[in-house]
Structure 1
Amino acid sequence: MNIPPAIRKVYQGAASRQQMFRMFDRHIQRPNRWEDNAAALYSGEWFEIGEAEHDYMFEILPPLWIRGSMFAMREFSTGQVTSVFFALRIDEQIRHFHGYCDLSDKASVETMRVAIIDRESRPVRAMTREERLEHIWSSTADQYRGYADDSSPTAGRDKRTIAFFCGQAGSTLRLLEDLTDHEIAAKLPVHLRYLPAQAAA
């Protein structure tokens, strides 16, 4: 299974409560879900939420710890990976975020905090190709996304797939990573299609 880069934004804009809960387990359909150690799959994922969602999660259970404007959930997702919630001042505005941090790495929470501030402090809204693909994966309903199975070529097995509609020909499964720029644009909501590349920010 592909191991994603260390820290990555997986949704553009602030997620609603329903979307937040869906993204807590974006990889629910992965092969061998109950057999593998998925720490590397989850660790480093982050996205923005609203203040109400942030406060709601704070009140669900007593936090594992509270450090200034951050708190960690007591329940671990996999291995030593747990949800950490941030209230960060960015451009004179308090914004709220959820991130998965591997607490076996003592620097992971601070590294995540710095990465979020750096990413969201840029003067121009922008998205990398990887962020576009992650947004598509996060916002696609479970029945239209999955993982390549044994019928797929060996090179594509266990990679993420997306159902792509081809008019009268119906739909076909495509590897997420193989989508063309045109196909990515077609899958994104209109307000995200024409954002500049992150390198231009």
Structure 2
Amino acid sequence: MTAHPPFRKVLDGVATREQMFQLFGRHKDAPGIDPLSGTPYSAEWFEINASEYHFMLDLLPPLFMRTGMFGMSEYKAGNVTSVFFAIRIWGRERWFHGFCDLTGSRQTRWRAAIIAHETGASDSMTHAEKLEAIWNMTPVERRGIPRNADPETGWAEHHGKRTILINAGRHDAAFKLLADLSDLEIDEFLSKVRLRRS
């Protein structure tokens, strides 16, 4: 299994409420991963709106609450729970969600990790973070995971790997392994999302 960076941003931009709830369950159908352990979620984070932050605060009594952050009393799995942050970055209040494993000491480093990421270079996402963002922003009908692939199609060896539709809407549209996207394709995907949100 590939080693993950200590903290992983999994969505480029600000998640809508619908996207937020999709990200809460994003590993439930992943092959070869036990989502009940909480491990696939641990250290993943994304930005949300103030309304989602306050909605989640009002949903259940928090497990803990500190200035600018609270943890959900309902665990995702294992010792992993949702932690929500209100962080002022460059003079503007912003809100974030992260899956935190409460058995370790990482929860004390979350705020610093998010600030470091968000105040770095404009293209501060790692390659792995960019691929996660692309996967999460791609509509469900334009992404998939080959299962029981027919050997005749050439996809049998890629059973369980993530694919996305490239060149959607054109005659040469085709599914491609997410991991095989070129730097140019990655930049094109991310720039489309930035344009939609600007």
TM-score higher than 0.5: yes
Query: Where does residue 180 of structure 1 map in the other structure?
Result: 182
| Partner secondary structure for residue 42 of structure 1 | coil
Which position in structure 1 is the counterpart of 2:14? Answer: 14
User: Aligned-pair distance for 1:18?
Assistant: 1.8
Q: TM-score, normalised by structure 1?
A: 0.80
Determine what percentage of the aligned residue pairs are the same residue.
41
Structure 2 residue runs of 5 or longer lacking an equivalent are 150-154
AA partner of residue 177 (structure 1):
A
Q: Counterpart of 1:197? A: none
Task: Give yes or no for contact 1:137–1:145 (8 Å, CA) kept in 2.
Answer: yes
CA shift digits 1:148-172 (9 cap, x unpaired): 4343455x44332223347434532
Distance 2:63 2:144 in 1: 32
Instruction: Quickly say closer, same or farther: Cα 1:118–1:46, change in 2 above 3 A.
Output: same
Match of 1:120 in 2: 118
* 1:143 corresponds to 2:141: yes
Counterpart in 1 of 2:92? 93
**2:192 & 2:173 partners in 1: Cα distance?**
23
Separation in 1, partners of 2:29, 2:167: 21
Whole-Å Cα distance in 2 between the matches of residues 38 and 165 of structure 1?
36
How big is the shift at 1:28? 3.1
Residues in 2 aligned to 1:2 and 1:37: alpha-carbon distance in whole angstroms: 19
Unaligned runs of 5+ in 1: 194-201
Question: Partner amino acid for 2:171?
Answer: Q
Which residue of the partner structure matches residue 84 of structure 1? 83
Q: Which amino acid aligns with 1:178?
A: D
Equivalent residue of 2:171, what SS? helix
- Provide the residue aligned with 1:199 in structure 2: none
Aligned pairs, number: 188
Q: How far apart are the structure 2 equivalents of 1:27 and 1:165?
A: 26
**Alignment match of 1:129 (pick from 127, 130, 149):** 127
What TM-score comes out, normalization by structure 2 length? 0.81
